[in-house]
Homo-oligomer: A and B are copies of this chain.
């Protein structure tokens, strides 16, 4: 790697070598995991480069290829598996300057990769009253490209599934890392090669996404005596075809009370479990009746608060998904979390009974290949790596999937099955293997077993066959 020659070749493309800033930009939310925190603490790049156009991205990749400089793409750096950590040093490719919205149509939008999701929605809502189908809870910070390359789903996944599902990304423009980088327009099944690939096989510079109808979603919180009651209610809401919700998330006591600072005044006691909800305005009256029918305790609905009360509260989605964990970490830095999937309520109950307060349950109701499932993001009161592994093992032995968030490679996390087509695509798009090195095991280990019996969230092209089983 000849970083000096690389830098000199960049012309007036903005770079940054202030070590403090470079180190800052070399990090994401890896510290969510005690294991990754330890492993990745000292990882850093030498330089940050911030191109302002696709042409400049092409220049960066051409010169990186020429001078053997590892390139780790970066959006907002909110990923929390260390995905954006530059294991081999080199350059951080900061894409946040590529933030133009290119074209808004009634049912879709095309934008550059660095646009912040909330800002993208603001523009599409204004233009066509449309919004993204789903977004991570880091909506107000995360970039479109970072979401596609590093995320999976989020608020809205109860209706639309996730990025893994065919049809949820319409097109990607990707720049390869070669002597003369190519700009590829990926459509159809090819999209799945690059979605959730951590930028290991191409730099996303543009994406075309479907839009759905925008609503002024109403935040609600409903209390229950037990997390199982909360989950049972949440499942029934999720199965109600006529009640349009964007978010349904049961959270076990004492998490809501202990971690949701600003909502605490609405929560009756430390023993109360809650369900977080975002409902379309037309669904709210029916949902209120539904809460009463299930003997839930309607703690809070945003549409009847005064503007002053409302201004004090973060949006409910910032209590959900990984924000639950984030709020927990702020109050108790010793906790961590897991990513699980429970096929039904009985499995949730098994986990709750087995782990009790060692693992306060947090569920996100999602659709997974057309079926409503319980996606778990349970808090874990961390004692040791061995115990964490044991909890994972017990889950797997009892028919519950685990997507390990304490691993920084695509395959070990269990999110992405790197199949032959994807590996082949990396061979073409990144022949030197300098895009985000070390994140795709299949690249580094030619003997990697593609057919290992594991379950993957992103099954790649197999998704087309239906269920990811």
Q: How many chain copies? A: 2
Expressed in whole angstroms, the minimum distance between the Cβ of A148 and any Cβ of chain B is 13
B166–A466 CB distance below 8 A: no
Binary interface encoding of chain A residues 100-138 relative to chain B, with 1 for a CB under 8 A from any of its CBs, else 0: 000000111000000000000000000001100100000
A287-B170 Cα distance, complex, nearest whole Å: 12
Interface 0/1 of A137-169, CB less than 8 Å to B: 000000000000000000000011110011110
A369 within 8 A of B: yes
Interface residue tally for chain A (C-beta within 8 Å): 50
Q: Does A349 contact B (CB under 8 A)?
A: no
- Interface residue SS majority, chain A: mixed
Q: How far is the CA of A212 from the CA of B129 in the complex (A)?
A: 12
Whether the Cβ atoms of A167 and B283 lie closer than 8 Å is yes
Segment at the B interface, from A12-20, A172-180, A233-241: A233-241
Residues of chain B contacted by A130 (CB below 8 angstroms): 213
Complex contact B108–A166 (CB within 8 A): no
User: Chain B residue with minimal CB distance to A107?
Assistant: B282
What would 25 A/B residue contacts be, using CB atoms closer than 8 Å?
A: A106-B129, A107-B213, A107-B281, A107-B282, A130-B213, A133-B242, A159-B241, A165-B243, A166-B242, A166-B289, A166-B290, A167-B242, A167-B282, A168-B242, A170-B286, A188-B289, A189-B293, A210-B242, A210-B280, A212-B213, A213-B213, A236-B465, A236-B466, A293-B464, A293-B465
6 tightest Cβ-Cβ pairs between the two chains A and B: A239-B370, A161-B241, A167-B242, A165-B242, A213-B213, A168-B242
Beyond the given A161-B240, A167-B244, could you list 5 further A-B residue pairs with CB under 8 A, ordered by the A residue number? A107-B215, A165-B240, A166-B240, A241-B370, A289-B464
